[in-house]
Structure 1
Amino acid sequence: MEKEKIKVLIADDHSLFRKGLEQLLELEEDIEVVGEASNGKEVVEKTLQLNPDVILMDINMPVQNGIYAIKELKERGCQAKVIVLTVHDDREYLLEAVRIGASGYIMKDADVDHLLKAIRDVYRGETYIQPNLSGKLIKDFDKMSYHSVRKQFEQHNLTPREIEVLLLIADGKNNKEIANELYISEKTVKNHVSNIFKKPDVSDRTQAAIYVFKNHLK
């Protein structure tokens, strides 16, 4: 039985870039490019028509930019996962894209391996931020307080201590730093981290930070 392929829609206003990316992706046995779009309005139309699994979305496009296209797709209830593929490494673009529902963010000059991993990760329901960009997201968490988010985490049955640990993870602190700040052992921190990753269904520290941001940072 033939393995089901990941259906990808490429959205970019440069034809040569779209064609080059299509040729690259078609070399992968588990990926199929089902269509192209040259502006944000066309992205929405093609998504409704072709039902892709993953959309590679440029930000700067005519008629309607990528950010507005993502918003419209979410408002229409489209289930396609969006990876922002852009030249912009600005923190504001990254934060806005994650806030409105993008599942991935990667630069156009990234290695092919990063792009392929991003496509496969978001297809599985994970979030992918290019590794050297994740720090831009985590910086926002030093403004968060335990009391401001405690009630919002109760739905995941996190204990008060796990909430404290999660916020410190999101602040970019390692286990040793968390242990020192909370006056507990590193082993205890590791146990809390293991429990946290099971409850919000995230698998690493960057995804934990993204999870907090997407659900609770206003």
Structure 2
Amino acid sequence: MNHDIQISLLGRNEIVREGLRRILIEERFRILSSVDDSCHLSDLPTDPMGNGSHIIIIDTGPDNFGLEQCRELRQRFPDSYIVLLADSFKYEEVAEAFRSGVDGYIVKEISCDPLISSLHLVSLGEKVMPSQLAGAFANGGATFKRSDWRASITDINLSEREVEILRSLILGYANKVISRRLEISEATVKVHVKAILRKLRVSNRTQAAIWAVKHGLEAHLAAQPKDKTILNDDDGVRPILTECAA
């Protein structure tokens, strides 16, 4: 239930915070605080049963307020989720936000119902990204500046097999789907994924996918399954991007 999700609001614009606070209260979220500076965020109350979750929503505003504070908040509230609420979609800002440890990046054009759904996904440990990023991925990253991919993989020494798997990560495929598509074992896929994360110096598959698209790798070249079977959620396909816009 929504009242099990605790919310802290952070942003310089009091009107925006108040509007968001009222929306969330109507949806039965528990609002812990609404402040204009991270130093005013209260420590979380102790929950002996370990129930519920805590989300810090940051209104970045036109001056990117909050981005610079994400790493500090991640260290201070390691068990909390962090969501950035941005005025507009900027690819570099999205990438920097997830490198800083955020769990969700939402553009303000979102309507109420998708916003509430997105917060629920974040509270369950899912990563939420703007729909514009999904569109950029679908178009092979054509909506933002791309660097030369071949130069990039030479610099980090990715093998051709690792490049194939990285393309599959962009598409959000689970290990067993990658295994089926490339006709290799899941154990081998896991080894390659670990090597990719180490070489790219990122901590998870989402960050690896963002890095790859930023550097010009196109996902549509990922290997297709030999039997042409349509893959669904039961087959282990789990997109790394969640649609945030109405």
| TM-score range for the pair, normalised by the shorter chain length | 0.5 to 0.7
Is this contact kept in 1: 2:11–2:59, CA < 8 A? Answer: yes
Instruction: Please list, as runs of the form range in 1=range in 2, the aligned pairs for 1:81-160 lying within 5 A after superposition.
Output: 81-136=81-136, 139=141, 143=149, 147=159, 150=162, 159=179
Is this contact kept in 2: 1:142–1:171, CA < 8 A? Answer: no
Aligned pairs, how many?
186
* SS of residue paired to 2:241: helix
When you count helix as a share of all residues, which structure comes out higher?
1
Q: Post-superposition shift, 1:33?
A: 1.1
Give 1:185's match in structure 2, choosing from 227, 238, 241: 227
Instruction: Give the structure-1-normalised TM-score.
Output: 0.65
Instruction: Please list, as runs of the form range in 1=range in 2, the aligned pairs for 1:3-14 lying within 5 A after superposition.
Output: 5-14=4-13
What is the match of residue 25 of structure 2?
A: 26
CA RMSD of aligned residues (A): 4.3
Q: Which runs of 4+ in 1 moved over 6 A?
A: none
Question: How far, CA to CA, are the matches of 1:46 and 1:147 in structure 2?
Answer: 46
What is the match of residue 194 of structure 1?
A: 235
Q: Post-superposition shift, 1:115?
A: 1.2
Question: How far, CA to CA, are the matches of 1:75 and 1:3 in structure 2?
Answer: 25
What is the match of residue 169 of structure 2?
A: none
Is this contact kept in 2: 1:11–1:58, CA < 8 A? Answer: yes
Q: Post-superposition shift, 1:182?
A: 4.8
Question: How far, CA to CA, are the matches of 1:113 and 1:191 in structure 2?
Answer: 25
Instruction: Give the structure-2-normalised TM-score.
Output: 0.59
Is this contact kept in 2: 1:9–1:54, CA < 8 A? Answer: yes
Report percent identity of matched pairs.
17
* Greater RCO, 1 or 2 (C-alpha within 8 Å, sep 6+): 2
Is this contact kept in 2: 1:13–1:61, CA < 8 A? Answer: no
What is the match of residue 46 of structure 1?
A: 41
Q: Post-superposition shift, 1:204?
A: 2.2
